Chains A and B, each alone.
Chain A
Amino acid sequence: MMKPELLAPAGSLEKLKVAVLYGADAVFFSGQKYSLRARADNFTLDEIAEGVAFAKRRGVKTYITLNAFLHDEDLEGLGEFCQFLDAQGVTGVIVSDLGVIDVIQKSSKLNVHLSTQASCLNSASASFWKSQGVERIVLGREVSIREALEIKAKCGLEMEMFTHGAMCMAYSGNCVISNYTAGRDSNRGGCIQSCRFQYQQASPDKGCSSESFFMSSKDMSGLEHIPEFCDAGIDSLKIEGRMKSLFYVASLCRAYRKAIDIYTAGEDYAAALPELQAEVNSIPHRDYFGASFSKPAGMLSVFQDRQGTIRSGTHQFTGVVLEKSDRFAAVRLYAPMTQDQRIEIVPFRGEPIPVQATQVYDLTGNRLASPRQDCVVCIPLDEQLAQVEALNIVRAARV
């Protein structure tokens, strides 16, 4: 059985490394321009070179997002940037805009993937993009797995589908609320997420009004649909979230890596599913739903809670191992630890390693009872922690 590629988001160089080490087959990220995440850290040219080299050494593919819809003045420097990407050996670029495709093809030999932002939804549309030199379609999130299979059969292109993460309520590329209400172009990376706002609504003809988050989508999770994705021969399964945390990237890569491996190895997927779901429930998320994987997203796909009440997840992101010496693991803390807190260091493969943090030291060598966040602590290594590696995630179960 063909194994779909697991494609993970990399909002920064550190996230790229975490995604690769936790099992991604490919990563997508962007430079400082031409992409849809203006607020993400994104990569400098040096970081792109380092990230691509890091991934290539481990056999992982790299896709650069050039998926903004650009105005003429934004195209400046794009050709040179594509030549730079080509020279680095990136696997491909993800593009929405036909003008950007034009510049790419005139300046480089980069493989072009069509971004979901172009809302390619059917085989005739895919055929058009194929005629434009596109090699892979990142399908619109309204497309079902069965439809994706049909589109692939008819057009012969590789199919990539989002399988996990937050999603636009609109057809991607067809929402310009930010442009008109905040002066920020949503299709050039300035989306203010108006769909997450609460709206007061009144219907004159129905004579009633309501307050609701009617445009806010639940998060998609395709974990239950992994068998269908694999059986349909979907080429790439994508995790959304370049703005999300290291914890998010690591947890989802772990879960989906295991899911794909278990199913394609012919193991009992149904039996494994609860544990996999526990992993994706460990991170902060809105309620999950099955997007349009098997049937069109209906009324129950709306997330009616405020962003502030996003499910916190079963675990807290505590930190990341920065370095392992012969005596200590140095952990950068993203959350404070409480006295004697039980934490887990999550290896790249295998079960989380429980650690009773009774002996934690700061960099001066002082033992800490309750380390604060935004600092580095040293955890003495013992036999149990021998397999800890740099860039392992550290988490703590929420009480």
Chain B
Amino acid sequence: MKFTTFVTSKEDILACAAAPNLEEVLIEPTQLSREGRLSLEEAESLAKEAAQHGLKPTLVWDILMTETEFATRSKLVAGMNLELFTAIRTQDPGAAVWVRENAPGTPLQLVVENSNHNMPALLRWVAELRPQRLVLSTQLPEDKLIACCQQLDTECEVLGAGKILLFYSKRHLLQANFGNDEDANDSHWIYADSSSEESASRPFPTIENEHGTFMYLNKDHFILDSLARLDAAGMHTIRIDLRDPQVDGHAAQGIDTVCAMTVSNDPGLDTVWTRPTSAPFFKRNKTDKQFARMKPQTRLLRDAKCVAEVVSVERGELLGLFTLREFDTDGASYKFVAHDGSELPAELESFSDITGNPLTRCSAHQVVRCSWIKGVKAGAILVRDEPV
């Protein structure tokens, strides 16, 4: 298992060169990368520096781009000396296609972190774009990550430690509160902590730059102390992200220590990582478990057995039903099912239409009057009570 990390300076390169199992560095030009702080020239210069220290430099082009931006940014990439880079990392499928068509000799690292969570999708990304590597989601639990390593015919990477991106918008959302005239330029960078009324004790680091606004979880993802199974399964690369969005400077200081302690399973590793940490989905992802409770209990009963909905209750006198399909008013057994799923037997009689004509059979989409039943409320449904 290898490590990768972001670099912004020669000092970072030196730290990476000293780090065990770290053979690759991620270089982010401002104009191409979400959190880039380097000019294109600086990026190229840093790539040369990395190569001189035996490190493989990967160009990070991970912004999303509308058509106009895509035309501009792809021209910039075309103008770069791509031979300096051993791979290009993209998220936008358009950028991936561009790399495939215009830099066929440069391996593609495809970021599929944003909600690519099933094997058919991942297999197809690999089959169609033939990436050197897939950068997998932190929402995939360990067992799924292991399955990816075993089933995908490409290198797999996952974040081992670092910021979790929660929100990526094209709009500039901090300028209104924190900007000034200088912040209108392309290289501006605004930082703020944002705490919502629902999470007052959790300030989410938020940045705005030329690419839009990015919000991060208040805790770093951290699984560096739990890599054994992933390593055994063949996880190719673990990304360690030491970038501090508040600081424009080095991005990999201390990477040698973190890598060394990870490799040696040093129990003191979590004390070296000073920011609060979490890995909420590494063991299990249960982010769909609440869904069943979010629906009215009657929803799934609206099938062929559901014949009407209660639309009016005249207490002590009658119920108004709106029929959903034809049904006989006698000879069948019915029950009412309320929003909360509770049931009441429906001993209905005295059916009539809205003008008072008696009914023995109700048509579909008709308002029907029938006898009042205590406890039945508007919104309840009338269901044929057939044995299961």
Binding site for B on A (CB under 8 A): 32, 38-39, 41-42, 44-47, 69-72, 74-75, 96-103, 119-129, 131-132, 140, 142-144, 147, 150-151, 169-171, 173-177, 179-181, 183-185, 187-190, 194-195, 197-206, 208, 210, 212, 214-215, 217, 292, 296-299, 301-302, 322-323, 325-328, 330, 332, 362-365, 374-376, 378, 390
Question: Are B177 and A143 in touch, CB under 8 angstroms?
Answer: no
Distance in Å: Cβ of A142 to nearest Cβ of chain B: 5
Kindly state the separation between the CA atoms of A39 and B64 in the bound complex, as whole angstroms: 29
Kindly state the separation between the CA atoms of A46 and B299 in the bound complex, as whole angstroms: 12
A-side contacts of B67, CB under 8 Å: 121-123, 143, 147, 150-151
A-side contacts of B285, CB under 8 Å: 71, 185
Question: Are B369 and A124 in touch, CB under 8 angstroms?
Answer: no
Question: Are A170 and B167 in touch, CB under 8 angstroms?
Answer: yes
Cβ-closest chain B residue relative to A45: B303
Binds A, one of B37-45, B50-58, B187-195: B187-195
Question: Are B169 and A171 in touch, CB under 8 angstroms?
Answer: yes
Residues facing A in B176-210 (CB within 8 A) are 176-178, 190-200, 202-203, 206
Task: Answer whether A190 and B288 are a contact pair too, CB < 8 Å, given A97-B115, A99-B124, A376-B311.
Answer: yes
Distance in Å: Cβ of A255 to nearest Cβ of chain B: 26
Question: Are B70 and A121 in touch, CB under 8 angstroms?
Answer: yes
B-side contacts of A199, CB under 8 Å: 194-197
Cβ-closest chain B residue relative to A43: B302
Cβ-closest chain B residue relative to A47: B302
Kindly state the separation between the CA atoms of A143 and B65 in the bound complex, as whole angstroms: 9
Question: Are B194 and A200 in touch, CB under 8 angstroms?
Answer: yes
Question: Are A147 and B128 in touch, CB under 8 angstroms?
Answer: no
Cβ-closest chain A residue relative to B366: A323
B-side contacts of A365, CB under 8 Å: 356
A-side contacts of B313, CB under 8 Å: 375
Question: Are A214 and B176 in touch, CB under 8 angstroms?
Answer: yes
Binds A, one of B7-15, B91-99, B223-231: B91-99
Kindly state the separation between the CA atoms of A176 and B215 in the bound complex, as whole angstroms: 10
* Extra pairs beyond A143-B67, A298-B172 (12, CB < 8 Å): A45-B303, A98-B120, A122-B65, A171-B169, A181-B202, A185-B287, A188-B288, A198-B196, A214-B176, A217-B171, A323-B322, A363-B354
Cβ-closest chain B residue relative to A374: B378
Question: Are B93 and A129 in touch, CB under 8 angstroms?
Answer: yes
- Residue in A102, A185, A301 whose CB lies within 8 Å of B120: A102
Cβ-closest chain B residue relative to A174: B168
User: Chain B 85-105 against A: per-residue CB contact (8 Å), 1 yes, 0 no?
Assistant: 000000011111110000000
Question: Are B176 and A299 in touch, CB under 8 angstroms?
Answer: yes
B-side contacts of A100, CB under 8 Å: 120-121
Distance in Å: Cβ of B186 to nearest Cβ of chain A: 14
Task: Answer whether A147 and B66 are a contact pair too, CB < 8 Å, given A71-B285, A131-B128, A299-B176.
Answer: yes
Distance in Å: Cβ of A372 to nearest Cβ of chain B: 10
For residue B266, CB closer than 8 A to chain A, the reply is: no
B-side contacts of A298, CB under 8 Å: 171-172
For residue B272, CB closer than 8 A to chain A, the reply is: no
Question: Are B92 and A180 in touch, CB under 8 angstroms?
Answer: no
Kindly state the separation between the CA atoms of A183 and B195 in the bound complex, as whole angstroms: 18
For residue B246, CB closer than 8 A to chain A, the reply is: yes
Cβ-closest chain B residue relative to A195: B167
For residue B332, CB closer than 8 A to chain A, the reply is: no
A-side contacts of B96, CB under 8 Å: 128
For residue B122, CB closer than 8 A to chain A, the reply is: yes
Kindly state the separation between the CA atoms of A170 and B325 in the bound complex, as whole angstroms: 43
Question: Are B64 and A121 in touch, CB under 8 angstroms?
Answer: yes
Kindly state the separation between the CA atoms of A189 and B287 in the bound complex, as whole angstroms: 10
Cβ-closest chain B residue relative to A378: B354
- Residue in B69, B171, B287 whose CB lies within 8 Å of A188: B287
For residue B274, CB closer than 8 A to chain A, the reply is: no
What are 27 A-B pairs at a CB distance below 8 A? Answer: A46-B303, A46-B304, A72-B117, A98-B125, A99-B116, A121-B64, A121-B67, A121-B92, A124-B97, A125-B97, A128-B94, A128-B128, A142-B66, A169-B167, A170-B167, A173-B115, A176-B114, A176-B166, A190-B290, A198-B197, A203-B191, A206-B178, A299-B175, A363-B367, A375-B311, A375-B313, A375-B378
Kindly state the separation between the CA atoms of A171 and B166 in the bound complex, as whole angstroms: 11
For residue B340, CB closer than 8 A to chain A, the reply is: no
Task: Answer whether A323 and B94 are a contact pair too, CB < 8 Å, given A97-B115, A212-B177.
Answer: no
Question: Are A132 and B128 in touch, CB under 8 angstroms?
Answer: yes
Kindly state the separation between the CA atoms of A289 and B151 in the bound complex, as whole angstroms: 47
Kindly state the separation between the CA atoms of A333 and B302 in the bound complex, as whole angstroms: 22
For residue B342, CB closer than 8 A to chain A, the reply is: no
Distance in Å: Cβ of B29 to nearest Cβ of chain A: 19
- Residue in A124, A173, A299 whose CB lies within 8 Å of B70: A124
Kindly state the separation between the CA atoms of A322 and B191 in the bound complex, as whole angstroms: 55
B-side contacts of A374, CB under 8 Å: 312, 378-379
Question: Are A375 and B366 in touch, CB under 8 angstroms?
Answer: no
B-side contacts of A190, CB under 8 Å: 287-288, 290-291, 294
Give the 3 A-B residue pairs with the shortest CB-CB distance, closest first.
Answer: A99-B121, A124-B94, A125-B94
Distance in Å: Cβ of B285 to nearest Cβ of chain A: 7
Kindly state the separation between the CA atoms of A33 and B113 in the bound complex, as whole angstroms: 23
Kindly state the separation between the CA atoms of A361 and B168 in the bound complex, as whole angstroms: 54
Question: Are B198 and A183 in touch, CB under 8 angstroms?
Answer: no
Question: Are A102 and B121 in touch, CB under 8 angstroms?
Answer: yes
Residues facing A in B3-54 (CB within 8 A) are none
